[in-house]
Amino acid sequence: MTATLFVAGMSHRTAPVEVREVLALEEDKLREVLAVLGADGPAAELMILSTCNRVEVYGVADVPGEARAAAFRALGAHRGVTLAAVEPLLVTATQEEAVRHAFRVAASLDSLVVGEPQILGQVKDAFALAQACRTVGPVLSALMSQAFSVAKRVRTETEVGRLAVSVSSTAVELARKIFGSLEGKGVLLLGAGEMAELAARLLMESGAMPLYVANRTAARARDLAQALAGTAVAMSDVPAMMARVDVVIAATAAPEPVVRVADARAAAHARGARPLFLIDLGVPRNVEAAVNHLDGVFCYDVDDLQQVVEANLRERQREAQRAESLVEREVAKFLARLRDVEVVPTIVSLRERLEAIRRGELDKALARLPGASEETRQVLEALSQSIVNKVLHTPIEKLRDSSRAGHGRRWIEVVSEVFGLRPGDRPDR
């Protein structure tokens, strides 16, 4: 029976989070599941990808349905969930569709937010865990190796992952456009909200520094400043600080603006030609709207940032179309490679068989020529190798060609029969 490459599971597209979260196991539990399935399961190869958005089993099995059932029965057993409860939500793809799915997942084309970078690391972690549990073989190894390559090409050859799609990352992207480089750009953080903290961290990761934190509660300002390796300042010092820093992130819960036009005008005057960038994440807004009319002052509120996010998402979708074309080309390459994998064991056995014959006959010939010179021995060695290579050429080419044409199995049997290869040498798939 021919083994089949398959992927089965559920994702954010097919199952609600309350179901996905039940089957999403910790690494130690996944290790237990792989150990059990690897030892006694119906799959020759197996890998489990478990994230907040998907739980998928990649495998190679004679009967994919049995392997899928065994895998999800084992996953559910850890949380008291029966196979029958999740079966209607499972989706299965085999061979070409499975390859395409693996490439699209690794390249983040199947993600909730297309182009997000985390999924590739999660796929790599899943593969590494399966390797550690010795549940992957030549097919899944080849599949994942090419999936990682495809993901890298999608990221470097398209714009899918380059456009910011969160408010915080968009703010940083806009700051980079205004200043070019963020190296050494000072940042003033007003408030201590989660979104503002994330934007500050992203700015600092891009080289922005120093960081100052002002908050209505001084203790909170000190704590956050310490966490971000910054300096706490008093709210009363904010107008003066705006003249010193380059980026102001305002994210307070104040019912009225905390950055007034007069303060921003004074700061702009003191800065001369140096621009001032204000990111207003507050609702109600923390910065008076008229600030944006001042020369050299750029202010974006949450609606402005959200418009940029939506534009970037649309652009990502357009870039995703280019990425899909790249994936299709790589799927065709992998399928050809997969078919080669099918005949490789027979080719290896064939070479070993003829090499054993060559070596045996050469030893017999040399035994009859005890006085043969080194030159004669080398000539006989080269002659016998040449004969073997010529004999092997046609059957090996035939095996490869027929495999790529989808008829590899028949020629595997023919070659094995003609050259007397042992049944154990014949590949199962």
Supply 53's token pair: 């958005």
Spatial distance between the Cα atoms of 284 and 273, rounded to a whole number of angstroms? 30
CA distance 355 to 349: 10
**pLDDT band, very low/low/confident/very high, at 185 (cuts 50, 70, 90):** very high
Q: Which of 85, 53, 80, 50 is nearest to 69 (CA)?
A: 85
d(CA 126, CA 111): 16
With cut-offs at 50, 70 and 90, classify the pLDDT of residue 426. very low
**CB distance 203 to 187 below 8 Å:** yes
Tokens coding 32: 């237990």
Strand pairing partners for 7? 58, 93
Residue 138 near residue 190 (C-beta atoms within 8 A): no
pLDDT higher than 50, residue 131: yes
Per-residue pLDDT at 281: 85
Handedness of CA 190, 192, 196, 198 (dihedral sign): positive
Give the mean model confidence (pLDDT) for residues 309-326: 88
Q: What is the pLDDT of residue 429?
A: 37
Say yes or no to pLDDT of 414 above 90: no
Q: What is the pLDDT, as a whole number, of residue 423?
A: 52
Angle at which helices 118-132 and 27-40 cross, to 10°: 50
In whole angstroms, give the CA distance from residue 249 to residue 260. Answer: 14
Largest CA distance in the chain: 107
* 372-383 pLDDT tens trace: 999 999 999 999
**pLDDT (mean) for 315-322:** 88
Checking if the pLDDT of 84 tops 90, the result is yes
pLDDT at 20 over 80: yes
Determine the length of the chain: 429
pLDDT of 403 strictly over 80: no
CA 123, CA 57: separation in Å to the nearest integer?
Answer: 11
Q: What is the C-alpha to C-alpha distance for residues 277 and 187, in angstroms, rounded to an integer?
A: 10
Residues above pLDDT 70, as percent of the chain:
97
pLDDT on residue 422: 66
And the tokens for 59?
């495998």
Task: List the catalytic residue out of 39, 52, 290, 369.
Answer: 52
pLDDT(197) > 70? yes
Angle between helical axes of 167-179 and 302-367 (0-180°, round to 10): 90
Asked if residue 1 has pLDDT above 90, the reply is no
Report residue 83's pLDDT band, with 50, 70 and 90 as the boundaries: very high
133 flagged as catalytic? no
CA 27/CA 306 separation, integer angstroms: 36
Q: Which residues pair with 64 in a beta bridge?
A: none
Residue 428: its pLDDT value, please? 40
The letter for the amino acid at 380 is: L
- What's the mean per-residue pLDDT of the chain? 89
Dist. CA 216–CA 191, nearest whole Å: 7
Q: What is the mean pLDDT of residues 346-353?
A: 90
Residue range 84-112: mean pLDDT, rounded: 94
Q: What is the model's pLDDT at position 359?
A: 95
Cβ-based neighbour number of residue 374 at 10 Å: 7
pLDDT digits (tens, 9 = 90+) for 9-19: 999 889 888 88
Q: pLDDT, tens digit, for every residue of 208-255?
A: 999 999 999 999 999 999 999 999 999 999 999 999 999 999 988 888
Across 147-160, average pLDDT: 93
Percent of the chain clearing pLDDT 90 (strictly above): 58
